Structure 1
Amino acid sequence: MQRHTTTQLHREKINDALYKIHLDIANPLHVKDVAAFVSTSMYHFNRLFYAHMGEHVHGYIKRVRLENAANALLFNPQMSVLEIAHASGFGSGASFTHAFKDYFGATPTKWREVDKESEGCSRPITPLLNAPKIVRLPSRKVAYVRHRGYDRSIQNPWLKLLEWAKEEGISPDAPMLGLHHSNPRFVPLAKCHYVACLEIKKTHFAKGEVGIMRMPSVLCAMFSFKGRYGEFLSQMDSVYYEWLPTSGFEKLPLPSFAIYHKNHFTSPDETYVLDFCIPVKHA
């Protein structure tokens, strides 16, 4: 019993740490800051994080910032490389360029010049049929389970979350959301980070892999999509590569998310109806 309780405590600390990391990637953040946030020694936290996430804390923070920067370079052409560096948590243009080239194999400027739409991905981009709604969405309190991999295995965090919700007496009709931390156009699908979220109204507590967080109120470009499993990635690409660069908006360094009206990861027929929301600000 003690071992089970300790395992749950460790998972809750990791959930809290990930929340801290993703809350504002532009702010300077060191491993000791994250360890202190979850009331753990830096040595113990490093070991704990690696055991649960398969990568070291410093490397995880660096990767999240670089992936955000890679998106911004493609989607926010009006921002300078230095502006993107600062918005992604890098103190100087030189340190950013060195880290970016080391990770992606190209300088930020070269990355922007190359047509990434056609490199390394044979997936066609689905033409957009309708313009988005620009809306400010309210803050939401959610229970969540994190997952790595964008494929049918996403059903697993949803099953865990729905089982927890059943134990907590949460309505099976509670709104479902899926947070997309990675761009599957250049991040391998097996490494994409996804978060299954269930909106909650009352006070509930984290348990095991299930964490609790509050999503901020944010201005979003909202696109309505429907389809079958396997089709959504092309629709997502159309938003990022067709609409965003010429939209007059900048994507904020927050994850895009789907609000499911029908969730293909939990529906037997694997069809979906959803609103895909991109956090933005006016350029």
Structure 2
Amino acid sequence: MKKDTLQKRTKISNDIMYYIYTHIETHIDIEELSFDLDVSKFHMHRIFKEAFGKNIYESIKSIRLQKAANLLLTNKYSTISEIANLCGYSSQSSFIKAFHHRFEMNPKAWKQGGYKTYSSRILQQSQKAMLSTASFNNLTPTIVKMPIFESFYIRNKGYNVNVKETWQKLQTWLLTNNITHYKQIALLHDNPTITPLNECQYIACIVTQEHQTLSEERLPRFKISDGVYAKFDLQGKHGDMLKFIHWVYHEWLPKSDYETTTKPSYAIYNKNNFLSNDNEFDLSFYVSIKY
């Protein structure tokens, strides 16, 4: 495949995903989207599935249900019908049916504690997370406003599989291009507390801090969203991270009075456990919130 064709296809797939995240509460018109991107619906569906492993409609449904699963915990005074509307569902019955199909229980059961059972099954998919003894109850976030980051990236399907190799490829790219000032950011398109780990979209990103023109760019780019985030600073080992994310979404958020949004969470590394000799990390984790 020619380089310019690959870059164009990557940009289209990223533009589609960005549009979905920013319009998830509304009716997403695929006809209108294909017109805006100046590409046929057939071509748009094909390149999106090549990039993300599932079609556009499946992604819209998955993101809406992830948002609903979180809102059921954080919006204590909202009815199920109101949450259905917030997530782009036209009727409560269609929402309940879709939710039950995804999470094997109805929204009411989820809200009353069923989420802990479902989430614990996902946690068990990671042996390292199950061995973690880390505790996060004393962690207190700071609330920050973050800028847009324009990043180079490699997308990795699966939270645990091949992530180390993905970061090694980015490290090779940095060394090849003599880039010395940069940020390493892990962006989670999917919430690993409610998405099977082998289905999670893990995005390894590099944000360069040098104003330079990179020749023979091999990596595609996208923008990490700006906004208001809860920032958690923590250190630990690989298994601690997944356990921490579970704590954020299922312990801290429900008690915080904040709501999360559809913007993906991300981590900025001071020390990347996938590249360190001792497998330890030092990072800041950002969760998009509103009040």
Which TM-score applies when normalising by structure 2?
0.83
- Distance in 1, Cα, partners of 2:21 & 2:86: 13
* Identical-residue share of aligned pairs (%): 30
Aligned to 2:198: 190
Moved more, 46-55 or 219-228: 46-55
Aligned to 2:80: 81
Matched, 1:52 2:51: yes
Counterpart AA for 1:74: L
Measure how far apart 1:274 and its partner are.
Answer: 0.7
- Distance in 2, Cα, partners of 1:203 & 1:61: 36
Unmatched runs of 5 consecutive residues or more in structure 2: 125-129
Counterpart AA for 2:220: V
Measure how far apart 1:262 and its partner are.
Answer: 0.9
Q: Is the 8 A contact 1:128 1:235 kept in 2?
A: no
Q: Is the 8 A contact 1:21 1:34 kept in 2?
A: no
Which TM-score applies when normalising by structure 1?
0.85
Measure how far apart 1:12 and its partner are.
Answer: 2.9
- Distance in 2, Cα, partners of 1:73 & 1:251: 11
Measure how far apart 1:166 and its partner are.
Answer: 4.9
- Give a deviation string over 1:45-67, Cα, whole Å, max 9, x none: 22222233332211121112112
- Two-structure CA RMSD over aligned residues (Å): 2.7
Q: Is the 8 A contact 1:17 1:35 kept in 2?
A: no
- Distance in 1, Cα, partners of 2:239 & 2:145: 29
- Distance in 2, Cα, partners of 1:38 & 1:168: 32
Change (3 A) 1:72 1:147: farther
- Distance in 2, Cα, partners of 1:169 & 1:22: 34
2:159 to 150, 153, 159: 150
- Distance in 2, Cα, partners of 1:157 & 1:27: 34
Q: Is the 8 A contact 1:145 1:211 kept in 2?
A: no
Aligned to 1:175: 183
Query: SS of the residue aligned with 1:117?
Result: helix
**Aligned residues, how many?**
279
Measure how far apart 1:164 and its partner are.
Answer: 4.4
Measure how far apart 1:152 and its partner are.
Answer: 4.9
- Distance in 2, Cα, partners of 1:44 & 1:141: 26
- Distance in 1, Cα, partners of 2:109 & 2:242: 25
Unmatched runs of 5 consecutive residues or more in structure 1: none
Measure how far apart 1:158 and its partner are.
Answer: 2.8
- Distance in 1, Cα, partners of 2:283 & 2:144: 15
Measure how far apart 1:245 and its partner are.
Answer: 0.8
Return the structure number with greater helix share: 2
Change (3 A) 1:143 1:89: farther
Q: Is the 8 A contact 1:75 1:241 kept in 2?
A: no
Change (3 A) 1:49 1:193: same
- Give a deviation string over 1:61-117, Cα, whole Å, max 9, x none: 111211221122234434332332233222332332232223223222222123322
- Distance in 1, Cα, partners of 2:140 & 2:19: 34
